[in-house]
Amino acid sequence: MVLLSSATLEQLARPGGGSAPAPAPASRDVAHLLLHMGLHVTKAGPDPVALYMAESRELLPRLALLGPQPSDWVRSSEQLEPAVLDAPMGEVTLAAVTVVGLPTLMAWDKAVTEEALATFRRVAVTDCLWRVGGHLVEEGQGRLLAAFGHPYDAIRWVTTCEPALKAADWSTALLEHELAEEVAAGGSGPGSAEGGEAASGRHMADDGADPDPSRLVFRGLRIKAAVDCGSVRSDLQPSTGRMTYRGGLGGAVQRIIAHITTGQVVCTSRAWHGYTAAAELLASTGSPPPPEGDVAAAPLGVRSLRGARDKVELWSVWLEAGDLDGSEAGSLFGSQELVFRGGAQLLSEAAGP
């Protein structure tokens, strides 16, 4: 086994060790495979290190001798991110989280906004995504796309991101901007949303039910999120060692993101039905409820999305116990053990042999 650090990988990617990166080769032209083995804490230092395994195609069959779990292939003090060989294939759930109003914030104060984006990534990825075994597929400025083996994990991720971000330690300067100020549902006047009109899209529910009037609607960067599931084609990206997914699922998630408004966390009906089926199975086997609370949902009806041929039934989802304020920052995940046991693995264990 040959392990590389991210710094070594970056150096190898430059022709002749120069300053310009080499063009990414096509998959068929690569004589060896690069596998992302996750983010690890090693004895060499306190900072996490991304590790990669380089393997020739001829020796790939030997990987089976390393053990059934890819997480056991690399020994470290702690693994923070799952490896690429744990990534889902075939039936996959994709979830996207996007920061709203980013161009305006960058034009207002670039330094403050970049600091906020670092907080956004830490909360959404380090504190939330990796704890449910999610795999980061694409990442841009204020934009995340993650893959999961089951809708259960994806919906839990997006619904925990919302309250965790509101409880994050945002700078005072950011909270003074109208796109990041604290807003409470109900009441009138500054700092309130009349009648809860901004509350995470749940005001759009078909039954007309109002959200909890005491709910903290916004605090810090505003987001919107979408989840959908389906069949995809997957491939290993030679230059990154990560899995990429092709097909219409990614486009479907992005169309939902473009359709919804600030604060909405939405999934398709097939994703929600997958979540409820998983939750019922786990409950029937006596599995303890998730410590961060239960997920609730309200139908948003059948919608026509721009660029989509067929209409899509959408559901608004939220974490019932996720009403955190700034004084409770970190309490959502502070005592939760970091394990890569997502819904797909839990369901397999619950179903038995």
In this predicted model, what pLDDT tens digit does every residue of 161-213 receive, in sequence order?
999 999 999 999 999 999 999 998 764 433 444 433 444 344 343 444 443 43
Residue 260 near residue 201, CB atoms below 8 Å: yes
pLDDT for res 5 = 80
Residue 151 near residue 278, CB atoms below 8 Å: yes
pLDDT for res 19 = 42
Q: Cα separation of 131 and 47, whole Å?
A: 19
Q: Helix 343-351 to helix 269-284 angle, to the nearest 10 degrees?
A: 50
Same domain, 125 and 192: yes
Phi then psi for residue 235, to 5 deg, are: -155, 155
- Where does a domain end: 86, 108, 133? 86
CATH number at residue 314: 3.30.70.1230
Kindly indicate the confidence band of residue 53, based on its pLDDT and cuts at 50, 70 and 90.
confident
In order, the DSSP letters of 273-326 are: HHHHHHHHHHHHTTPPPPTT--EEEEEEEEEPPTT-SS-EEEEEEEETT----G
Q: Cα separation of 165 and 217, whole Å?
A: 11
Residue in the structure block whose two tokens are 């998983």 = 278
Q: Does residue 353 or residue 105 have the better pLDDT? A: 105
Kindly indicate the confidence band of residue 341, based on its pLDDT and cuts at 50, 70 and 90.
very low
**Percentage, residues of the chain above pLDDT 70:** 74
Phi then psi for residue 103, to 5 deg, are: -60, -40
Same domain, 142 and 159: yes
Residue 120 near residue 165, CB atoms below 8 Å: yes
In this predicted model, what pLDDT tens digit does every residue of 130-172 receive, in sequence order?
888 899 999 999 999 999 999 999 999 999 999 999 999 999 9
Same domain, 71 and 205: no
Phi then psi for residue 113, to 5 deg, are: -70, -40
Instruction: Report which of 249, 276, 259, 246 is spatially closest to residue 314, judged by C-alpha positions.
Output: 259
Q: How would you class 246 by CB atoms within 10 Å of its CB: exposed for 0-12, middle for 13-18, buried for 19 or more? A: exposed
Instruction: Report which of 223, 259, 222, 249 is spatially closest to residue 97, judged by C-alpha positions.
Output: 223
Give the pair of three-digit tokens for residue 234. 């997957």
Same domain, 31 and 165: no
For the ranges 5-14, 116-125, 338-347, the lowest mean pLDDT is seen at 338-347
Same domain, 101 and 236: yes
Same domain, 254 and 297: yes
Residue 256 near residue 315, CB atoms below 8 Å: no
Q: Which range of residues forms the domain containing residue 52? A: 2-86
pLDDT for res 152 = 95
Count of domains observed in the chain: 2
Same domain, 297 and 164: yes
Q: Cα separation of 38 and 242, whole Å?
A: 10
Give the pair of three-digit tokens for residue 350. 């619950």
Same domain, 45 and 96: no
Residue in the structure block whose two tokens are 């690069």 = 34
- Where does a domain end: 54, 86, 118? 86
Q: Cα separation of 212 and 196, whole Å?
A: 8
pLDDT for res 259 = 92
Same domain, 17 and 96: no
Same domain, 61 and 148: no
Same domain, 77 and 99: no
Same domain, 39 and 188: no
Q: Does residue 341 or residue 270 have the better pLDDT? A: 270
| The pLDDT of residue 286 is above 60 | yes
- Where does a domain end: 41, 62, 86? 86
| The pLDDT of residue 271 is above 80 | yes
For the ranges 26-30, 247-251, 267-271, the lowest mean pLDDT is seen at 26-30
Q: Cα separation of 264 and 297, whole Å?
A: 12
Kindly indicate the confidence band of residue 67, based on its pLDDT and cuts at 50, 70 and 90.
low
